[in-house]
Amino acid sequence: MARLLLLRHAESEWNAQGRWQGQADTPLTDRGRRHAAEAGPLMATFEMLVCSDLSRARQSAEIIATGAGIDEIHIEPRLRERNAGPWQGLTRDEIEQGWPGYLGSGRRPADYEADDQLVARADAALSDIALLADRRGASEVLVVTHGGVISSLTVRAGLEMVRMPNLSGRWVTVDDGAVCVGVPVTVGDADRHSSEAVEAGRPPPRS
């Protein structure tokens, strides 16, 4: 059974600006590109590389692939970040002004993709990736995706949320179509290369 390492992409421009990204197609910052380049050689043991089709994940995967010596990248649109509807592009302060109390109470606006929709498409994508890995005899697959995807799978598994800097994530396996979420992983000097996450899955503020 192949193991899949789900990683959040490297820092994007809207990460650096503290903006809620959703499915907006924002590129990496210079700092994000440096982090991905640093991570590449650490990923040389992976036999397959799959990524979301959004620029920040695709660029992260391309840079990592160069450093890891991986020749082929599989693009998987079902690994996109959650559609955040009217919140895409807004800071937390702007969201609070437009939707007072929503963030604190966990409410979300219309057109915001629900957890069950997100995990359903992620489950389907990961099941297909695991099948492809088995056919190719790959034991470890690197999957570059988004914080909302990893967080939603973690919450569904009943696991404690942990801080998720850029290029961190979770190991998962797929057993008879069921996605089993494992231990958290951080690649490279994530704290030096990351902005605070502002989207779904962000841990509670430090007291």
Residues involved in catalysis: 9, 81
3 state SS of 180: strand
What separation in angstroms does the CA of 193 have from each of 30, 165, 170? 10, 8, 19
CA dihedral 48, 52, 55, 61 (to 10 degrees): -20
* C-beta of residue 36 within 8 angstroms of C-beta of residue 63: yes
DSSP state of 189: S
